[in-house]
Amino acid sequence: MIRIPPFSALRAFEAVARHRSVRKAAEELGLDHTVVSRHVRSLQAMLDVPLVRTSRQGVALTPAGDEYAASLNRILADLATATARVDSNRRSANLSIWSVPGFALRWLTPRLPDFHALYPSIEISVRPHESMADLAGFEADAQIIYGEPPSTTLRCTVLARPLVFPVASPYWAATHRNARTPADLVDMPLIHEESHEQWREWFAAHGVTPPDRLRGPRLWHANLALEAAKLGQGVALGNELLCANELAVGDLTEIGHNRVAMHPYLFVARRDRWNEPALVRLRLWIATQMQQEAQTARTASAGR
């Protein structure tokens, strides 16, 4: 007889693994945190292997937990695909999605044909924008943001929390071979997005205090910053999702090995529209794709 854990336990573990937090997983699932903890413990007991470690800093996955979470994501993606194919009651839908520009241009737009092939009745309109849409006034159906959760009148969930690291053109890296550690980069020409804040947070995560004035231009959003880095204008902060293609083909190279998790990408929508079928399909599809790609990127990075 095939042993299959209860879906409630699998769902709880998947949410905890994605959020790295029992409390946040409980909020997403609409359960008490003690219930989520109990589900995870029961799953560990059934498998007879620890999947998570808890500390004051939050929840971390064990190697077995990391592997199990990756397998579970693939299974849920297959389940979502199978469900879509047998769902004969799908209705046509037009979704207007606002998104932070870098993500819209570099990740979401190139993958929309894949979503449309799976859900041909759902039409997606993407608008790159830094400001919050008036979701209450139906200015957009949902929004993808990077950073902190918005107003509590809206509902949001973590899509992925990619690792962030400095990148530059191969030519720049070859002519600045002494730039390897975070401390080495403090006085280098840095390429900023809308402000210097992201670089300051990255330095702080590595225990480095930058000067009051950081060098380099401000280029508004991630896409412009990464393009400037490709042109050899300095060092930009990229992540494993937004610059995966450039790293693979050699247009960009990672400076040092200083990856750190910073802010998450969040899917935001009105609470009363959260469970609309088209929004659910888009949300789950994006989350699954992002998490699978992040796992692939981390595996490739570990092998280098």
Q: Set out the domains of the chain in order of their start, with CATH numbers.
A: 7-84 (1.10.10.10), 93-159+264-302 (3.40.190.10), 163-261 (3.40.190.10)
pLDDT band for position 112 (cuts 50, 70, 90): very high
Among 78-82, 126-130, 137-141, the range scoring the smallest mean pLDDT is 78-82
pLDDT at 302: 63
pLDDT at 91 over 70: no
Helix, strand, or coil (residue 95): strand
pLDDT at 48 over 70: yes
**Phi and psi at residue 224, in whole multiples of 5°?**
-65, -40
pLDDT at 82: 75
Q: Give 227 or 81, the one with higher predicted confidence.
A: 227
Residue of 129, 285, 97, 287 whose CA lies nearest to 220: 129
Quote the tokens at residue 114.
Answer: 């894949």
C-alpha angle with apex 296: 51 to 158, nearest 5 degrees? 65
pLDDT at 3: 82
pLDDT at 295 over 90: no
pLDDT at 88 over 50: no
pLDDT at 261 over 60: yes
pLDDT at 84 over 70: no
pLDDT at 89: 43
Residues 33 and 72: beta-carbon distance below 8 Å: no
The mean pLDDT of 165-189, rounded to a whole number, is 92
End-to-end CA distance of the chain: 41
Cα gap 270→96, rounded to integer Å: 13
pLDDT at 78: 83
Indicate the angle between helix axes 63-86 and 277-302, nearest 10 degrees: 140
pLDDT at 92: 54
Q: Which ranges constitute the DSSP H helices of the chain?
A: 7-19, 22-29, 33-47, 63-86, 101-103, 109-118, 170-175, 182-185, 197-205, 222-230, 244-249, 277-302
| Residue reference for tokens 């902190």 | 148
Helix, strand, or coil (residue 63): helix
Quote the tokens at residue 107.
Answer: 């990740």
Model pTM score: 0.68
What DSSP state is assigned to residue 58?
Answer: E
C-alpha angle with apex 278: 272 to 281, nearest 5 degrees? 110
* Residue 250, number of CB atoms within 10 A of its CB: 9
pLDDT at 145 over 80: yes
DSSP string, 128-158: E-SSPP-TTTTS-SEEEEESS---TTEEEEE
